Structures are given as structure tokens and as C-alpha cells.
Amino acid sequence: MPCKICKIKPVWKFTNQRQLCNMCFVKYFEKKVKNTIRKYNMPIHKIKNKSLKAKIINFIIQNLPERKGKLQEDSLDDISNKIIYVMMYDEKNKLKNLLPKNQPLYFLSDKEILLYARIKKIKGELKRKRRELKEIDNFIQTVEEKNPDIRHNIVNALLKFNFL
């Protein structure tokens, strides 16, 4: 099945089977970052850090008007790992720190981030995960094989759940 939009060879397949080519994926990714920033009124400010996620965020926001505040690099993978961590080991009221407020990559997975970096030739690697999160990450990855939407399900539960 070709790219749904322009009918050329796909590089990305969503869990609903929809597929995108290189350039359509880049557009989708950048739009998602910008929409997340707009929807949650996030700061627009360069991250002073050389990590891959910081470089990607800085690249996408470079032409947007600045808005005061500090951005965080957390992706969908990081956020979903942290939600499960807090649920298991920490005080539930800390969950509200994991709502979207300054994480432009909130709804994008590490896989999508790596693909975007590859297409745009942005160099770097993902940071190693802290040990206590690595364990949860491994667990979610196992579930992901059967339920590829699990990370979205976890953050959507946080967004919809009114216990905060």
C-alpha cells in the first residue's frame, strides 16, 4: 500500500494501517509537535542541551515566536514509562506532573523520533533510560507486541481520568 497522501513508497505505518512516505511523515511529525505546543500553550524556547530530542525540538520551533518557559524532551515512551512508575511506586498526586505542559514530543514515540531524525539527517542517539524506568520500558515493550497502541492508551487514560 503506497503513501495515503501522495501515493509513493511508504516509510511509516500507523497502527490503523495508514502509511506515509518520507516527506508526508516529516509534515505529520512537525505538525504534531506544533499542534501539541499550541493546544497546551507550551513555552517556545530553545533547549540548551545536545541530545537528539532537544535538537529535534529546537529545529522544529526555530521559526516560531518565542514564549517564555522551559521545555522538556520527554516523548510518548518517556511519559508512559513515568506514568506506570508513579502508579506503581510513588504518590498518585505526582501524576499531574506528567500532564502535557512543556513536552512538545508528548504524543510522539521514540520510533517516530528516530525515523524523523534519520530522514532529516539530525545526528544523535536516544539517552539511556534510568534503571527503574528501563524495567517498566521492557514490560511495556512486551505488551506493545500485542497492543501497539498501549502507550497512547496509557497517556489517554491520564488525560481523561479525573482523579487529579
5 lies in the binding site for Zn ion (CB under 5 A): yes
115 lies in the binding site for Zn ion (CB under 5 A): no
Handedness of CA 85, 91, 96, 101 (dihedral sign): negative
Residue 42, Cβ density class (10 Å: 0-12 exposed, 13-18 middle, ≥19 buried)? buried
Which part of the chain contacts Zn ion (CB under 5 A), choosing from 6-14, 72-80, 97-105, 132-140? Answer: 6-14
6 lies in the binding site for Zn ion (CB under 5 A): yes
Number of residues that bind Zn ion (CB under 5 A): 5
- State the minimum distance, in angstroms, from the CB of residue 28 to Zn ion: 9
Handedness of CA 72, 75, 80, 81 (dihedral sign): negative
d(CA 120, CA 122): 6
Select 11 or 122, whichever has its Cβ closest to Zn ion. Answer: 11
47 lies in the binding site for Zn ion (CB under 5 A): no
Handedness of CA 151, 157, 159, 160 (dihedral sign): positive
Pick one of 12, 19, 24, 112: the residue that binds Zn ion (CB under 5 A): 24
Instruction: Name the site residues for Zn ion (rule: CB under 5 A).
Output: 3, 5-6, 21, 24
